[in-house]
Amino acid sequence: MYISEGTIKRILKEAGAPRMSAAAITEFQKYMNRRAFDVAQKAVKFSRHAKRKTIDISDIQLACH
Amino acid sequence: MYISEGTIKRILKEAGAPRMSAAAITEFQKYMNRRAFDVAQKAVKFSRHAKRKTIDISDIQLACH
Protein backbone atom coordinates (compact mmCIF):
# COMPACT_ATOMS: atom_id res chain seq x y z
CA MET A 1 0.00 0.00 0.00
CA TYR A 2 1.42 3.35 -1.08
CA ILE A 3 -0.89 5.52 1.01
CA SER A 4 -0.65 4.76 4.72
CA GLU A 5 -3.38 4.34 7.32
CA GLY A 6 -1.99 7.41 9.11
CA THR A 7 -2.44 9.55 6.00
CA ILE A 8 -6.03 8.38 5.61
CA LYS A 9 -6.80 9.12 9.27
CA ARG A 10 -5.34 12.61 8.93
CA ILE A 11 -7.48 13.36 5.86
CA LEU A 12 -10.65 12.18 7.61
CA LYS A 13 -9.87 14.21 10.74
CA GLU A 14 -9.24 17.33 8.68
CA ALA A 15 -12.53 16.78 6.82
CA GLY A 16 -14.29 16.90 10.20
CA ALA A 17 -14.62 13.25 11.25
CA PRO A 18 -14.76 12.99 15.05
CA ARG A 19 -14.33 9.19 14.96
CA MET A 20 -13.85 6.48 12.36
CA SER A 21 -14.03 2.71 12.35
CA ALA A 22 -10.97 0.59 11.48
CA ALA A 23 -12.94 -0.93 8.59
CA ALA A 24 -13.71 2.55 7.23
CA ILE A 25 -10.02 3.45 7.26
CA THR A 26 -9.05 0.23 5.45
CA GLU A 27 -11.81 0.71 2.86
CA PHE A 28 -10.73 4.29 2.18
CA GLN A 29 -7.06 3.28 2.02
CA LYS A 30 -7.80 0.48 -0.45
CA TYR A 31 -9.89 2.81 -2.61
CA MET A 32 -7.18 5.49 -2.72
CA ASN A 33 -4.46 2.98 -3.58
CA ARG A 34 -6.60 1.44 -6.31
CA ARG A 35 -7.45 4.84 -7.77
CA ALA A 36 -3.81 5.98 -7.70
CA PHE A 37 -2.58 2.86 -9.45
CA ASP A 38 -5.36 3.05 -12.03
CA VAL A 39 -4.53 6.68 -12.90
CA ALA A 40 -0.81 5.80 -13.07
CA GLN A 41 -1.37 2.85 -15.41
CA LYS A 42 -3.57 4.95 -17.68
CA ALA A 43 -0.96 7.74 -17.77
CA VAL A 44 1.73 5.21 -18.77
CA LYS A 45 -0.53 3.88 -21.55
CA PHE A 46 -1.22 7.41 -22.83
CA SER A 47 2.48 8.34 -22.89
CA ARG A 48 3.26 5.18 -24.90
CA HIS A 49 0.43 5.99 -27.26
CA ALA A 50 2.05 9.40 -27.81
CA LYS A 51 5.42 7.63 -28.36
CA ARG A 52 7.03 9.20 -25.32
CA LYS A 53 9.01 7.65 -22.51
CA THR A 54 8.40 10.54 -20.13
CA ILE A 55 5.02 10.87 -18.44
CA ASP A 56 3.98 14.48 -18.82
CA ILE A 57 1.18 16.60 -17.38
CA SER A 58 -1.17 15.88 -20.32
CA ASP A 59 -0.98 12.11 -19.64
CA ILE A 60 -2.00 12.72 -16.02
CA GLN A 61 -4.80 15.10 -16.97
CA LEU A 62 -6.18 12.57 -19.46
CA ALA A 63 -5.84 9.72 -16.94
CA CYS A 64 -7.67 11.55 -14.14
CA HIS A 65 -10.94 11.62 -16.10
CA MET B 1 -0.48 17.92 0.97
CA TYR B 2 -1.29 14.57 2.54
CA ILE B 3 0.17 12.42 -0.22
CA SER B 4 3.84 13.12 -0.84
CA GLU B 5 5.74 13.56 -4.08
CA GLY B 6 7.74 10.45 -3.20
CA THR B 7 4.59 8.35 -2.94
CA ILE B 8 3.39 9.60 -6.32
CA LYS B 9 6.76 8.81 -7.93
CA ARG B 10 6.70 5.30 -6.48
CA ILE B 11 3.20 4.62 -7.85
CA LEU B 12 4.17 5.84 -11.34
CA LYS B 13 7.38 3.75 -11.34
CA GLU B 14 5.46 0.67 -10.28
CA ALA B 15 2.90 1.28 -13.04
CA GLY B 16 5.76 1.15 -15.55
CA ALA B 17 6.76 4.78 -16.06
CA PRO B 18 10.45 5.00 -17.07
CA ARG B 19 10.53 8.78 -16.58
CA MET B 20 8.15 11.51 -15.49
CA SER B 21 8.17 15.31 -15.60
CA ALA B 22 8.06 17.37 -12.41
CA ALA B 23 4.81 18.96 -13.60
CA ALA B 24 3.25 15.52 -14.08
CA ILE B 25 4.14 14.55 -10.51
CA THR B 26 2.67 17.78 -9.11
CA GLU B 27 -0.51 17.38 -11.18
CA PHE B 28 -0.98 13.78 -10.03
CA GLN B 29 -0.26 14.74 -6.41
CA LYS B 30 -2.80 17.58 -6.51
CA TYR B 31 -5.42 15.31 -8.07
CA MET B 32 -4.94 12.59 -5.44
CA ASN B 33 -5.10 15.07 -2.56
CA ARG B 34 -8.23 16.69 -3.99
CA ARG B 35 -9.89 13.31 -4.53
CA ALA B 36 -8.99 12.11 -1.01
CA PHE B 37 -10.36 15.24 0.64
CA ASP B 38 -13.51 15.13 -1.48
CA VAL B 39 -14.22 11.49 -0.50
CA ALA B 40 -13.51 12.30 3.16
CA GLN B 41 -15.86 15.30 3.19
CA LYS B 42 -18.63 13.28 1.57
CA ALA B 43 -18.15 10.44 4.09
CA VAL B 44 -18.45 12.94 6.97
CA LYS B 45 -21.66 14.34 5.44
CA PHE B 46 -23.12 10.84 5.03
CA SER B 47 -22.33 9.85 8.62
CA ARG B 48 -24.03 13.03 9.89
CA HIS B 49 -27.01 12.28 7.67
CA ALA B 50 -27.24 8.87 9.35
CA LYS B 51 -26.95 10.59 12.76
CA ARG B 52 -23.65 8.95 13.60
CA LYS B 53 -20.42 10.44 14.89
CA THR B 54 -18.29 7.53 13.70
CA ILE B 55 -17.44 7.23 10.01
CA ASP B 56 -18.11 3.64 9.03
CA ILE B 57 -17.41 1.55 5.96
CA SER B 58 -20.82 2.35 4.38
CA ASP B 59 -20.05 6.09 4.46
CA ILE B 60 -16.78 5.47 2.60
CA GLN B 61 -18.39 3.15 0.06
CA LEU B 62 -21.09 5.72 -0.67
CA ALA B 63 -18.51 8.53 -0.88
CA CYS B 64 -16.24 6.69 -3.34
CA HIS B 65 -18.91 6.70 -6.06
In this predicted structure, the answer to whether residue B51 has a pLDDT above a threshold of 90 is yes
pLDDT band at B57 (very low <50, low <70, confident <90, very high): very high
pLDDT recorded at residue A43: 98
Asked if A54 and B11 come within 8 Å (Cβ–Cβ), the reply is no
In this predicted structure, the answer to whether residue A15 has a pLDDT above a threshold of 90 is yes
pLDDT recorded at residue A65: 85
**Burial of residue B51, with CB atoms counted within 10 A of its CB: 0-12 exposed, 13-18 middle, 19 or more buried:** exposed
**Strand stretches in chain B, DSSP E:** 19-20, 54-55
**Closest-CA residue of chain B to A39:** B28
In this predicted structure, the answer to whether residue B42 has a pLDDT above a threshold of 90 is yes
In this predicted structure, the answer to whether residue A10 has a pLDDT above a threshold of 90 is yes
H and E: helices and strands count for chain B: 3, 2
**Closest-CA residue of chain A to B29:** A36
Q: Which of B44, B27, B23, B32 is nearest to B3 (CA)?
A: B32
* ipTM score over 0.90, yes or no: yes
To test the contact with chain A by mutation, choose from B25, B27, B47 the residue with the greatest count of A C-beta atoms within 10 A, namely B27
pLDDT recorded at residue B65: 85
Asked if B14 and A47 come within 8 Å (Cβ–Cβ), the reply is no
pLDDT tens per residue, range A18-58: 999 999 999 999 999 999 999 999 999 999 999 999 999 99
Provide mean pLDDT across the span B17-40: 97
Give dist(CA B7, CA B28) in Å, integer: 11
Q: Does residue A54 belong to the interface with chain B, where contact is any CB pair within 8 Å? A: yes
Provide mean pLDDT across the span B12-27: 98
